[in-house]
Amino acid sequence: MAGPADLRRRTAALLAAHPPATTAPLDFLRARFDAGLAWVHFPEGLGGLGAPRAHQAVVDAALAAAGAPDNDPRRIGIGLGMAAPTLLTYGTEEQKRRFLRPLWVGEEVWCQLFSEPGAGSDLAALATRAVRDGDDWVVTGQKVWTSSAHLARWAILVARTDPDVPKHRGITYFLCDMTDPGVEVRPLRQITGEAEFNEVFLTGVRIPDSRRLGAVGDGWRVAQTTLNNERVAIGGMKLPREGGMIAPVARTWRARPELRTHELRQRLLTLWVEAEVARLTGERLRQQLAAGQPGPEGAGLKLAFAHLNQQISGLEVELLGEEGLLYDDWTLRRPERVDFTGRDAGYRYLRAKGNSIEGGTSEILLNIVAERVLGLPAEPRTDKDVPWKALAR
């Protein structure tokens, strides 16, 4: 197993063989993946070296100091944070070798075809059908709130393959080529004026059985790996002290003394402390991930992320007064990445409203924390053992 000294040696060898100043960024990223320095905790040959996850920081620090390019993680966040760990857990060797390298270097963007107009919070009620036809599955249905679908080459997709069993048991997980016939992506204009979200229509899309992830009917269990990783990726992202949404508010506070009041000061101090607690909790959770896949604890982090972003952005608008209502661009844009900190306060305030929906609604996450973390009694669920086809929709 590679230790810190070995990782420093390997990183130095990568930099010597592929100097960042003279190597094309994509070529450098490919070489980094092949050297096992992409995800050091992944197996050898799949971008890693089987090292502890915590040792990734050793590699990242050395490469950053050398000015090496990164893989633009905001642009490919769904692939990195959701598709990759699910592929690693449930993918065949052929699937892992086909998808992980172009995913990590950013050649292929991924999106998530989970939520539907009638199955948002209750994802297990999804109605998109996949019917077996020889060596293929024929998929028909509609997905919604799909981030980056307009950029994506691949999608992780859950579809119903057996309507005769209860809703959690008749779901199968697929990898969908977004360029295939029958896939239609339409923009959804948001309150910010942008369209980073989409609705996706699937009409007779043929997916080879070789692109099924996990067993037929076991898609709900596979999807839990995706969802648990998603919540950690959203709520537990690595940040410096005073990073994230609290950073621009703190900068404004220091630079604009004329805006300060005692009441706003108290609120800012409270939110600053809460943001630091959330950051340190995320750091601890990432360290625990060295032992395996994330569990339901990530739901708590994602809850804190949504609450804090909305409270902090609201405080920023109040602090700026009329200036806080300004917004630089209301035209319909199709962004490649979400930028919470590089835009106007008005954008942050509006965009943060979606934080309590994306990655699992706050109401559902509260149930997860209550039942799976705190061990409280589960809410009554009368539809749990009813065949999906018999449910009211």
Mind telling me the catalytic residues? 230
DSSP per-residue codes, 40-102: TTSPBTTTB-S--GGGHHHHHHHHHHTT-----TTTTHHIIIIIHHHHHHH--HHHHHHHHHH
CA-CA distance, 165 to 260, in Å (whole number)? 60
Contact 75, 336 (CB under 8 A): yes
Say which residues have a Cβ less than 8 Å from residue 257's Cβ, sequence separation at least 6: none
DSSP per-residue codes, 213-227: ESSTTBHHHHHHHHH
What is the 8-class DSSP label of residue 326? -
CA-CA distance, 125 to 146, in Å (whole number)? 17
Contact 121, 364 (CB under 8 A): yes
DSSP per-residue codes, 136-181: EEEEEEEEES-TTTTT-SEEEEEEES-TTSBTTTSEEEEEEETTST
CA-CA distance, 7 to 58, in Å (whole number)? 7
Nearest in space to 154 (alpha carbons), one of 223, 83, 101: 83
For 2, counting Cβ atoms within 10 Å of its Cβ (0-12 exposed, 13-18 middle, 19+ buried), the class is: buried
- Is beta strand 154-160 parallel, antiparallel or unpaired with respect to 110-113? parallel
Nearest in space to 270 (alpha carbons), one of 233, 302, 308: 308
The type of residue at 350 is: L
